[in-house]
Amino acid sequence: MADDSPTTPETAVIPAQEEEVPKATSENAGETSVPAGTDGSPRVTTSPTTTNAVAPANSAHAARLARFAALKAQSQAAKKDNRTEVLNEAKRSKTDFATEYKKAERRGDDAALKLLKESDPDFERKRAMDYTVEESENWDKRMSKKAKHKDGNAFSDYTAEASKVYKNQVKRLEKERKAGDEGGRREYMEGYAREKAELMQRQVERGVLELMEENGEVFTYDPKTGKVDTPAEEGYNFDHQPSKEAIDRLVNDLKAGERARLKKRADRGAKEDDGNVTYINHKNKQFNEKLARFYNRYTTEIRESFERGTAI
């Protein structure tokens, strides 16, 4: 007979299974994994602290900065020392020890000469007795030439000025020849001798000079002056053609003279006042300055009155 009582459903009991925890690998070594909870919350992963790793990095950076600062200071000190040595070397190169020695020796000679003059009143007369007649004449000639040159500095006329310029140019030309190379001087002398021989040959052909022979030597003779082996002075016949070097020398000399004049004019203009000009030339300027030194303190008020237009 069937049982009419209600049937209670059976409940199957499943044994609880433990969740497998993954093992740490080389990739996640050092990390602590927490399994997910039964409510589905995510796992929480924690990493170890890095405080001990940052401290060595900061100390290395500070060491590098200190080393860089030391190298920079060393570089600055080296630059300063090099600059000082360069300046000292320049000073040493500019010092001419031979000239300094001569100056010191001359100062000593001057002091000794002064002592001798003070000790002996007849020192000049006794010293003159040591000179020869030739040395005395040369000295007198030199002093006379020096005084004449000093007196001839002022402008007298254009002829004297041209003569002075010509003499200065000849003197400068002789200095340039002496300072030039041996080959240049030899070439110049050969050219001069060749032109002189050609000129005397033409003068002999025209009858200006006479060709004579004595003791096997042939020479030219000028019947007017009696000079031997010397071209006769005659009018310029416009047949001489200067060399290219002579033309270049003339051009350079003209350019140098022009530069000197321009420089002198510029210097004179720089010294002149830009304000009220009360002179017409340099001498008049000097005269006005001399008047101003003596009378400016008296004429200042009068001049100011004239400038204001209130003078009576």
| Under 8 Å between Cβ of 220 and 232 | no
| Under 8 Å between Cβ of 56 and 63 | no
What is the model's pLDDT at position 91? 75
Domain identity same for 108 and 162: no
Residue 220 lies in a domain: yes
Residue 125 lies in a domain: no
Q: Check residue 210 and report its DSSP letter.
A: E
Range of the domain at 69: 65-119
Residue 34 lies in a domain: no
What is the model's pLDDT at position 43? 53
Residue 223 lies in a domain: yes
What is the model's pLDDT at position 261? 87
Structural tokens at position 182? 């041996």
What is the model's pLDDT at position 229? 81
- Among residues 174, 139, 146, which one has the least CA distance to residue 249? 174
| Under 8 Å between Cβ of 45 and 31 | yes
Residue 185 lies in a domain: yes
The sign one gets for the Cα dihedral 234, 235, 236, 238 is negative
What is the model's pLDDT at position 287? 92
Residue 303 lies in a domain: yes
What is the model's pLDDT at position 259? 92
Number of domains in the chain: 3
Domain identity same for 105 and 167: no
> b/e for 100-123, b at 16 or more Cβ within 10 A?
eeeeeeeeeeeeeeeeeeeeeeee
Residue 130 lies in a domain: no
Cα-to-chain-centroid distance, residue 131? 46
What is the model's pLDDT at position 237? 65
For the chain of 312 residues, list the mean pLDDT of each consecutive stretch of 10. Answer: 46 47 45 48 49 65 89 91 85 67 74 80 79 88 83 72 83 71 65 83 84 82 83 72 83 89 80 70 88 87 78 52
Per-residue CA distances from 66 to 57, 69, 72, 73, 116 (Å): 14, 5, 10, 11, 72
Q: What are the strands, taking DSSP E only, across the chain?
A: 32-33, 45-46, 210-214, 217-221
Residue 192 lies in a domain: yes
- Collapsing DSSP states into helix, strand and coil, what is residue 213? strand
